[in-house]
Structure 1
């Protein structure tokens, strides 16, 4: 899942080397924290959050086989 998030985000940003995805799991959910360069935050979020919503939709769809809930944070 981390590879999927990195692949999507690195194609959107100007500083792909600064893309970092961390995974934190507990009993009920898995949280992925996405950190990008400060100049790329707007590109990842998009107007009215459309890009962020699309990224989350793809990640959630890819995780349909998992029993845990998935959450993606963009920082």
Structure 2
């Protein structure tokens, strides 16, 4: 999941070198924490949260193949 999220987020931001992705696996649940530069947070969240929702949808679909639950948190 980490590689998938990293690839999507780095394509959106102006400062891809500042993107940090942390992944924690706890049994059947995966937590993916996304950190970006404060000037890029709006690009990752998108207008009305649409971009963040799209990222989460793709990650959820990928996680269903592995029968795991995923939570994606976007922080600055």
User: Normalising by the residue count of structure 1, what TM-score does the alignment of the two structures yield?
Assistant: 0.93
Instruction: Indicate the RMSD between aligned Cα atoms, in angstroms.
Output: 0.9
- The alpha carbon displacement at 1:51 in A equals 0.3
1:70 aligns with 2:75: no
Aligned mates of 2:60, 2:67 — CA distance in 1: 12
**Offset from partner CA, 1:12-62 (integer Å, 9 cap, x none):** 000000111101121341100000001000000001000000000011111
- 2: CA distance between counterparts of 1:26 and 1:17? 28
Q: Which runs of 4+ in 1 moved over 2 A?
A: none
Q: CA deviation at 1:65?
A: 1.8
TM-score, with length taken from structure 2: 0.92
- Corresponding residue number in structure 2 for 1:2: 2
Corresponding residue pairs, total: 75
